[in-house]
Copies of this chain bind each other. A is one copy, B any other.
């Protein structure tokens, strides 16, 4: 299935489309010059020379003084250079065709190559194949195209506290980053490689990251990226190869402890352990990186102007991502910031349907201010109307 794959090469048309001159209206194929001056008061009379239906190659041709009945989309007969719309014709008792309106050459005819010229560039390298492109490729008889290989993105979770399920006996909590990130990877049309969970232990992290580097195009590793005593990820990455960790910490909230590394040409992105932070860092770093490697452009998220129903504070020097619930009201769209007590609050991302991004140099937005929200779910319909 080519849908949503990325073209690896430019696609040019091997043929003209339409393949032949076609009638663009139901009516009569004629020699335009025969109809010059025809009007309701001075109609022109042409001899009927048969009819052409859809899906057949005409074996008849139009000669001077003749007209051939034709339907929209049917191949024009030889000799004819225009179509008189059926509304401007009357078939006489003797079968002759009375024309009450003249046509000029080319009128009501779709010319060969009018839609696509042979050799024309149709789809550029880097295009994500959409349904209409599938139609065009079918039309051109191109049943195969070169697509870029699907990217493989590996995901490793680190943390002594993590298990694969709820375990109330121990202090373990389920690892939610792998379900979130593998889902997000699938959304991008990429293939997730699940590296599982390892404890906060140098050798284990190292072994698993090596596996990721060997099998995937991008490696993601969550948690272990702060500066605590059990945060081994930066040390492991720097031990694996050059240049190692290039960026450790980014000016955004949440997601500050994000790290960007390259090991022997393979990008490794270390994401914060908190799921909200990990997910936002994924959107901001992994999506652009994957698009870059696929040599395709990114689609913007849908945005919408919203009125804030309370003040939100930014953090000067950091780009702040505020999760909001956008709803439609009689007075337009309203955004309610989701109250959270930190990045650990996964429910903020599940309740929210959008983000408001407060730029680095802004202290915050006031109640009632009109700002732009990026939506990742449809807006809610407010109880009070719409």
**Residue ranges of A at the interface with B (Cβ–Cβ < 8 Å):** 1, 3-4, 15, 17-20, 24, 26, 53-58, 71-75, 110, 114-116, 122-123, 127-128, 130-141, 159-163, 165-166, 168-177, 179-184, 186-187, 200, 228, 230, 273, 275-276, 279, 296-304, 341-342, 344-347, 349-350, 375-379, 381
Contacts and interface: CB of A to CB of B under 8 A. Distances in A.
B341 A110 contact: yes
A20 B161 CA distance: 13
Contact of A55 (B128, B171, B342): B171
B71 A168 contact: no
Given A54-B200, A122-B350, A344-B115, A168 B19 contact: yes
A132 B55 CA distance: 52
Nearest to A278: B135
Contact of A141 (B72, B73, B166, B184): B166
Contact of A172 (B4, B55, B123, B375): B55
A296 B380 CA distance: 11
B24 A342 contact: yes
Interface pairs A-B: 10 shortest CB-CB: A131-B183, A297-B378, A135-B176, A54-B161, A55-B161, A135-B180, A141-B166, A55-B160, A134-B179, A54-B160
B346 A166 contact: no
A110 B47 CA distance: 91
Nearest to A230: B71
Task: Tell me if A's interface is mostly helix, strand, loop or mixed.
Answer: loop
A380 B130 CA distance: 16
Contacts of A181: 131
Contact of A136 (B123, B159, B176): B176
B57 A375 contact: no
Contacts of A279: 131-132, 135
Contact of A186 (B3, B122, B230, B300): B3
Contacts of A26: 228
B171 A132 contact: no
Contacts of A18: 173
B341 A166 contact: no
A24 B344 contact: yes
A346 B131 CA distance: 12
14 contacts: A19-B166, A20-B171, A24-B342, A26-B228, A54-B200, A130-B183, A132-B180, A132-B349, A136-B176, A139-B173, A140-B166, A141-B166, A299-B375, A300-B378
B174 A350 contact: no
Nearest to A72: B228
Contacts of A56: 160, 170-171
A251 B197 CA distance: 57
Q: Which of A15, A187, A377 has the most CB of B within 10 A?
A: A377
A122 to B, nearest CB: 6
Contacts of A304: 300
A19 B138 CA distance: 55
Contact of A19 (B116, B173, B381): B173
Contacts of A130: 183, 376-377
Nearest to A54: B161
Contacts of A379: 297, 300
A184 B130 CA distance: 8
Contact of A341 (B114, B180, B345): B114
Q: Which of A110, A122, A180 has the most CB of B within 10 A?
A: A180
